[in-house]
Amino acid sequence: MVRVQNLRKYYNHKKILSDISFEVEDNQIVAVVGPSGCGKTTLLNILSGLTSDYTGFVESDFHKVGYVFQEDRILPWLTVFENIKIVREDGSNQEVNRFIEMAGLKNYENYFPEELSGGMKQRCSIARALYFGCDFLLMDEPFKSLDYILKQQMLVDLKKIQAQQKNSILFVTHDIEEALSIADKILVLQKNPCKIAKKICLTEKTRTGIGKDLLRDEIFRLIKGLS
């Protein structure tokens, strides 16, 4: 579990994050949505440990944290296969290939990053993070460069792998549909400064049909009003 209480962050005397408090439970997927530039990435950087200049309280029971950035962070001198396998010493080639296929990169395992499109490189980053098998996975708009069909398939695969690995995921997205598809909880942020405007716990009724449509419209109106 991750517990965040009264988190504040300043930059050049300007308050970026204001009194952010929430929890990410074990085996839970939490989506973060909100207006552009509201501080979502800053929040992820704090939770990952990349940013330590803040006040408040962050406590984590997780020991192994992964991070999928907005931009791919794969190594240019390694192939797709090598980029994924490098994060673990105990994995088998068969397991690496399973994640390569999940990412839609079958037949590209021996390609170098310069030979891949931007979307393919991002899929390699996602596959590597999932293969890493972390307790807590942070994802910053991981699917924004993917086409609709591939994005939907990767959302299904992400949910399936998360259930198998029993890890927790916190991901930032501008796509409300993504959040509604796989999240157990949604945090809606406002800006100037960044605060949690609403916490939404999803149920079976809000995942499909009219319940999902109504919640999508509610979140859209809320974000539009906070922009």
Interval 138-164: pLDDT, tens:
999 999 888 888 899 889 999 989 998
Alpha-carbon span 203 to 184, nearest angstrom: 8
Residue-averaged pLDDT of the chain:
93
Nearest to residue 123, comparing CAs of 84, 159, 161, 94?
84
Q: Is the full-model pTM beyond 0.85? A: yes
Each residue of 40-88: pLDDT tens digit?
999 999 999 999 999 999 999 999 999 999 888 999 999 999 999 999 9
Residue 146's alpha-carbon distances to 24, 83, 151, in angstroms, are 26, 20, 6
- Indicate where the chain has its CATH 3.40.50.300 domain(s): 2-64+135-226
Give yes or no for a contact between 7 and 57, defined as CB atoms under 8 angstroms apart: yes
How large is the average pLDDT for residues 194-206? 93
Span 2-64+135-226: which CATH code?
3.40.50.300
